[in-house]
Amino acid sequence: MSTRRDEFTVLVLGGDGIGPEVVGAGVEVLLAVAKREGLRVEIEEDLLHGAAWERYGTFCRDETVARAREVDAVLVGAVGDPRFDDYLADDVSPVEEGTEAGAVARDPADKDGLMRLRRDLDVFAGLRPARAFEALVERTPFRPEVVRGADLMVLRELCGGAYFGLPRGIERLPGGGRRAYDATVYTEAEIERIARVGFELARRRRRRLLSVDKANVMESGMLWREVVSDIGAREYPDVALTHFYADNAAYQLARAPRDFDVVLADNLLGDLLSDQAGAIAGSLGMLPSASLAGLPPSGEPAKPGLYEPVHGSAPDIAGQGIANPLGTILSVAMMFEYGFALPALARRIEDAVERTLATGPRTPDLGGEAGSAALTHAVIDACRESGPG
């Protein structure tokens, strides 16, 4: 029998807006569960994105990336600070009269702290589960019989595609006006590695994988479909593989969310579908994520790993103490499962969230009037009820 590890270090990057509030809640739950289990969790904090820019003049410091590589897990709040919108939009190089139109290929990792972390840590696998919580079924836009029991996982490729592809830029045209472009670029190797994670996840779930693309229009979609099919046929004949065009996938996800198990998509399409899946949960504030550099065999910790709620920085409600902390708390559950390889503790947190939703306080996005702190403490109490004495 292998001995369970009992010491972990977590780097906490609150980021912007409600980010620091929700990670505060996540850390409280993390430490409460750890203490009860006799685990030692060391918390280190650093700044990310707007908060980092203000202090250090960069959206993500080299030191932060280096530390993120060393620790057992990174907990991220949210990035996005409206104060930098103009700065980011303005960055276009002027073109001299009579010369070729020049372009700035701005590195997305230079304008977004989270993008830099994803790229530098090579956490290409974005695991974004969404399910219909029984207590919130009435709050979803779906009829209960359509959504009840829905339980899916969007697996989003995070380090390639339109987010990072070259060429990209905004250029001034010699004749006046500007032109902007991005490129959806994928190598076979990039598609293969994310497809394998998709098939492995499907094996741990209901053995169904839906791969999403625009193979009817895009070259990158054609290669995507071919490579995913080949891997499926060669290595995972036990997993039922289906392909949908992305538009149809969005439609079917709204029509019959219970039909989905694992949904594999590229960076951009996965971004869209994972937000859409939030409607199934009743609030975008409910959705957790884990961004991993691959899926190790069960029982082994994934490292490095970023754990973050899917929602954004919500500057409109920042500082009011009313943000829904459950997406972050469920991200902490994913940290226990994937980062620490302690799935039983992940289940305990998920059960506690489920029970709290049934009877406990709710934040405004869930139809209640409670603050984040009341909801967080109710989850911690519920974790205690189900933990060992």
Considering only 12, 74, 79, 318, the residue that binds ligand IPM (CB under 6 A) is: 79
Q: Is 122 a catalytic residue?
A: no
- Window contacting Mg ion (CB under 5 A); options: 269-277, 280-288, 297-305, 350-358: 269-277
C-alpha 343/C-alpha 298 separation (Å) is 9
The HSE-up count of residue 152 (CA atoms within 13 Å, CB side) is: 29
Cβ proximity of 221 and 213 under 8 Å: yes
At 74, the amino acid letter reads: V
Between CA 372 and CA 294 the distance in angstroms is 33
Q: Name the catalytic one among 81, 163, 213, 261.
A: 163
Binding residues among 277-316 for ligand IPM as defined by CB under 6 A: 310, 312
How far is residue 56's CA from residue 47's CA, in Å, rounded to a whole number? 9
- Strand 240-245, strand 7-15: pairing: unpaired
Q: C-alpha dihedral over 248, 122, 130, 281, to 10 degrees?
A: -100
48 versus 346: smaller Cβ distance to ligand IPM: 48
Total residues in contact with Mg ion, by rule CB under 5 A: 1
Residue 232 or 327 with smaller CB distance to ligand IPM: 327
163 is catalytic: yes
- The single residue among 28, 190, 271, 350 that binds Mg ion, judged by CB under 5 A, is 271
Q: Is 114 among the residues that bind ligand IPM (CB under 6 A)?
A: yes
Q: Say whether 170 sits in a helix, a strand or coil.
A: strand
Beta bridge partners of 181: 169
Which of the choices Mg ion, ligand IPM, none does residue 294 contact, using the CB cut-off of 5 to 8 A by kind?
none
* Site size for ligand IPM (CB under 6 A): 7
Beta strand 240-245 pairing with 208-213: parallel
- Work out whether 112 is an interface residue with ligand IPM (CB under 6 A): yes
Binding of ligand IPM by 80 (CB under 6 A): yes
Catalytic: 275? yes
For residues 172 and 101, the answer to whether their CB atoms sit within 8 Å is: yes
CB 277 → Mg ion: shortest distance, Å? 11
Residue type at 161 in one-letter notation:
G
Catalytic: which of 275, 303, 351, 381?
A: 275
* Residue with Cβ nearer ligand IPM (312 or 387): 312
* Positions in the binding site for ligand IPM (CB under 6 A): 79-80, 112, 114, 271, 310, 312
Q: Which residues are catalytic?
A: 163, 214, 247, 271, 275
* Positions in the binding site for Mg ion (CB under 5 A): 271
